[in-house]
Chain A
């Protein structure tokens, strides 16, 4: 089992640019979660999908953030336009039912 795979591991870009983070969940998992980790707020849930359908996006900070899951093996989190305050580590996690969530290694995003 390859685990949850996120790319890129690190992203440095200038303010105003579009950023796309990618996630491949564990095969057979029906839930996918996007989290953001900051010093101030800790680990916060942004959005999650069940069977590729977005269920709760109430954690998405604003309209500049969007997420898609076109199929069971791929999801993206997009920020457009990016701002310095979006700098954080973004984690993707997947699970089946009420099993523990399996986290990817995260994407460390720096917006200059």
Chain B
């Protein structure tokens, strides 16, 4: 079982501010890292799949970076909006295995 840690567990951010949070995972036998956004009463929705060390992906105001050598990824949200309120999950995938191990997530609340 992979040890996937996300921090912080929860985060309150003022509307308009930028924020970021972390996903840490074992660097050995790395294959890919997935980021998902999970709104209350809905199902997880994919944001990014990252595979290369140094990779940076962007989707609107949300971006992510990846460091496979040290085993971490950052998710950034620029100019937070109320609709960004959700739980953000990361899930690494190891080589030779197809399943994902999800972290417990960072619960983000944007305050107007």
Contacts and interface: CB of A to CB of B under 8 A. Distances in A.
A42 B49 contact: no
Contacts of B104: 42
Contacts of A42: 102-105
A50 B98 contact: yes
Interface in A22-42: 31, 33, 35, 42
Interface residues of A, number: 23
Interface residues of B, number: 23
Contacts of A12: none
B97 A56 contact: yes
Nearest to A40: B104
Interface string B34-59: 10100000111110110100000000
26 contacts: A31-B98, A35-B102, A42-B103, A42-B105, A43-B44, A43-B89, A43-B102, A44-B102, A45-B99, A48-B98, A50-B98, A91-B43, A91-B44, A93-B44, A98-B31, A99-B49, A100-B34, A100-B46, A100-B48, A101-B44, A101-B46, A101-B100, A103-B43, A103-B44, A105-B42, A106-B43
Interface of B: 31-32, 34, 36, 42-46, 48-49, 51, 89, 93, 97-105
Interface of A: 31, 33, 35, 42-45, 48, 50, 55-56, 59, 91, 93, 98-106
Given A43-B102, A100-B46, A103-B45, 10 more contacts: A42-B105, A43-B89, A50-B98, A56-B99, A59-B99, A91-B44, A98-B32, A98-B93, A99-B49, A106-B43
